[in-house]
A and B are shown apart, each in its own frame.
Chain A
Amino acid sequence: MKPFVLVDGIAAPFPRDNVDTDALIPSRETQSVVRTGYGEKLFANWRYQPGTRIEQPDFVLNREPYRHADLLIAGRNFGCGSSREAAVWSLEQFGIRCVVAQSFGSIFRNNCIRNGVLPVVLDEAESSRLMAQAEQPDARFTVDLARTTIVDAEGAEVAFSIDPLEQEMLLAGLDEVELTLRRREAIEAFQRRDREERPWIWARADRDRA
Chain B
Amino acid sequence: MTTTSTERTGSRPNARTIIEKIWDQHVVVDLGHGSALLHLDRIFMHEKTGGRMLRGVRDGGRQPARPELVFGTFDHVIDTQPGRDDTTLFPGGAEFISLYRDEARRVHVPLIEIDDPRQGIVHVVSPELGIALPGTTFVCGDSHTSTVGAVGALAWGIGVTQGEHAIATQTLRQRWPGTMRVRFDGRPGPGVSAKDLALTLIGRYGATGGRGRAIELTGPAIEALDMAGRMTLCNMAVEFDAWTAIIAPDDKTMAFLEGTEYAPAGAAWDQAVASWRRLPSDDDAHFDDELTLDAGAVVPQVTWGTSPEHVVAIDGVVPDPSRARDAAARAAAERALAYSALTPGTAVETVPVDAAFIGSCTNSRLDDLRAAAAILRGRRVAEGVLAICVPGSTGVKHAAEAEGLDEVFREAGFEWRESGCSLCVYIQGDSFGTAQRVISTTNRNFENRQGAGVRSHLASPATVAASAVTGHITDPRRLAPAGPIRVVTP
Contact = CB atoms under 8 A, between A and B. Distances in A.
Interface of A: 15-18, 20, 22-23, 26-28, 30-33, 35, 45, 50-51, 75-77, 80-85, 88, 102-107, 109-111, 114-115, 119, 121, 124, 161-165, 175-177, 179-181, 183-184, 186-187, 190-191, 194, 198-206, 208-209
Interface in B35-86: 35, 37, 39, 41, 48-49, 51-52, 55, 60, 62, 65-69
A51 B143 contact: no
A24 to B, nearest CB: 11
A80 B207 contact: yes
Contacts of A32: 92
Interface residues of B, number: 94
Q: B interface, by DSSP: helix, strand, loop or mixed?
A: loop
3 tightest A-B contacts by CB?
A103-B1, A28-B428, A200-B264
A61 B96 CA distance: 31
Contact of A198 (B37, B165, B177, B275): B275
A117 to B, nearest CB: 12
30 contacts: A16-B328, A16-B331, A16-B335, A17-B332, A18-B207, A22-B444, A26-B448, A32-B92, A33-B55, A45-B448, A76-B1, A76-B328, A82-B425, A83-B142, A103-B1, A110-B162, A114-B159, A114-B161, A163-B33, A163-B34, A164-B33, A165-B32, A165-B33, A177-B169, A180-B169, A183-B37, A198-B135, A198-B275, A204-B262, A204-B264
Contact of A161 (B4, B37, B446): B4
Interface of B: 1-5, 28-29, 31-35, 37, 39, 41, 48-49, 51-52, 55, 60, 62, 65-69, 90-92, 95-96, 99, 108, 110, 130, 133, 135-136, 141-143, 156-162, 164-165, 168-171, 173, 175, 177, 207-208, 211-212, 239, 241, 243, 261-264, 268-269, 271-272, 275, 307, 309, 326-329, 331-332, 335, 425-428, 444, 446-449, 452-453
A209 B169 contact: no
Given A81-B444, A110-B162, A202-B68, A183 B29 contact: yes
Contacts of B34: 163
Contacts of B90: 31
A77 B66 contact: no
Given A80-B207, A107-B157, A114-B162, A22 B447 contact: yes
B173 A180 contact: yes
Contacts, number: 222
A206 B130 CA distance: 15
A27 B428 contact: yes
A110 B244 CA distance: 14
Given A80-B207, A103-B208, A110-B158, A201 B136 contact: yes
A209 B108 contact: yes
B207 A77 contact: yes
Given A16-B335, A163-B4, A81 B428 contact: no
Contacts of A16: 328, 331-332, 335
Given A82-B425, A177-B169, A50 B1 contact: no
A164 B4 CA distance: 9
B143 A82 contact: yes
A28 B52 CA distance: 17
A163 B326 CA distance: 30
